[in-house]
């Protein structure tokens, strides 16, 4: 996902196969279509038709090794819940069903307390990169790219391509980027909240902390982090469930500076 903070244009791709450069594909969506997001095989076809290399086999020796080990471990973890299975690798069927008036309804608890799950998000199971860039005119752009969570259910789309969740920018205010348990974080649009909090006058540190705290109040076991930067270049981060690091490089700096944020 990429976003232009001057025009509020967004380009995104999701569930895209056979193309290595997802962020360039997202930029092509933003620059050359009137859409915001393309998904699946047609997103791949679009990216290739616009000049990106492909189709390409994206499997690597390491990814195949992980997949084989996962199969040997009875397909665990697999992000499924409230299911019955023939064996550990499926097929899967919903459990606790009741037939009401000829229709089948899941007896999920839709009212009451949220049951916490052990998060699969961590330092070594995803590869999210979220970035904010300011040009000399003060215009802001953000971008997020990821392969998504390891061992996700086929078809899963996380927060990476969702504007307001993985990243958000507005030239008038500033920008935000996020990483972590995208399935949880996308329910709260934390980066949209960060930017809007800064619009209302909060400093980046408080805006970031409030966005993370709002998620943690509902999901105390979630793992995630955000960085916030206002239009004046003041930046900060906030995290929950891990120690988060982000890097900054500005005019006159010979190298990036890494900032560590404690939960």
- The confidence score (pLDDT) of residue 148 equals 86
Report pLDDT for 88. 86
pTM, to two decimals: 0.88
Mean pLDDT to the nearest integer, 230-237 = 97
Does residue 128 carry a catalytic annotation?
yes
Peptide bond into 256 cis (omega under 30): no
In three-state form (DSSP H/G/I as H, E/B as E, the rest C), the secondary structure along the chain is CEEECCCCCEEEEECCCCCCCHHHHHHHHHHHCCCCEEEHHHHHHHHHHCCCCCCCCCCCHHHHHHHHHHHHCCCCCCCCCCEEECCCCCCEEECCEEEECCEEEECCCCCCCCCCCCCCCCCCCCCCEEEEEECCCCCEEEEEECCCCCCCCCCCCCCCCCECCCEEEECCCEEEEEEECHHHHCCCCHHHHHHHHHHCCCCHHHHHHHHHHHHHHHCCCCCEEEEEEECCCCEEEEEECCCEEEEECCCCCCCCEEEEECC
Q: Which of 36-45, 100-109, 207-216 has the lowest mean pLDDT?
A: 100-109
235 phi, psi to nearest 5 deg? -135, 160
Q: Given a cut of 90, is residue 127 above it in pLDDT? A: no
Domain boundaries, the chain: 1-58, 123-261
Q: Between 3.40.50.300, 3.30.565.10, 3.30.300.30, 3.60.20.30, what CATH number should domain 123-261 receive?
A: 3.60.20.30
- Residues 149, 79 contacting (CB under 8 angstroms): yes
Task: Please give the pLDDT value at position 124.
Answer: 54
Is pLDDT at 116 greater than 80 in this prediction? no
Catalytic residue among 36, 128, 146, 243: 128
Pairing outcome for strands 257-261 and 244-248 = antiparallel
What pLDDT score was predicted for residue 87? 83
Q: pLDDT-derived band of residue 86, with 50, 70 and 90 as boundaries? A: confident
């Amino acid at each position: 996902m990429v976003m232009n903070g001057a025009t509020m244009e967004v380009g995104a791709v999701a569930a895209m196969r056979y193309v290595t450069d997802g962020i360039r594909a997202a930029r092509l969506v933003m620059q050359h279509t009137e859409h915001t997001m393309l998904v699946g095989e047609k997103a791949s076809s679009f990216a290739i038709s616009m000049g990106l290399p492909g189709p390409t086999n994206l499997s690597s020796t390491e990814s195949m090794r992980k997949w084989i080990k996962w199969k040997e471990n009875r397909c665990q973890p697999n992000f499924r819940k409230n299911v019955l299975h023939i064996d550990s690798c499926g097929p899967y069927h919903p459990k606790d069903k009741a037939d009401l008036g000829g229709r089948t309804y899941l007896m999920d608890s839709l009212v009451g307390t949220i049951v916490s799950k052990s998060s699969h998000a961590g330092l070594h199971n995803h590869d999210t990169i979220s970035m904010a860039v300011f040009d000399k005119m003060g215009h802001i752009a953000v971008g997020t790219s990821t392969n998504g969570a390891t061992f996700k259910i086929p078809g899963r789309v996380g927060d990476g391509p969702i504007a307001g969740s993985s990243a958000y920018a507005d030239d008038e205010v500033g920008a935000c980027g996020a990483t972590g348990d995208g399935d949880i974080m996308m329910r709260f649009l934390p980066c949209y909240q960060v930017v809007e909090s800064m619009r209302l006058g909060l400093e980046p540190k408080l805006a970031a902390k409030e966005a993370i705290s709002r998620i943690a109040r509902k999901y105390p076991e979630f793992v995630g982090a955000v960085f916030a930067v206002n239009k004046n270049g003041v930046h900060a981060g906030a995290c929950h469930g891990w120690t988060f690091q982000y890097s900054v490089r500005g005019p006159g700096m010979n190298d990036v500076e890494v900032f560590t944020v404690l939960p």
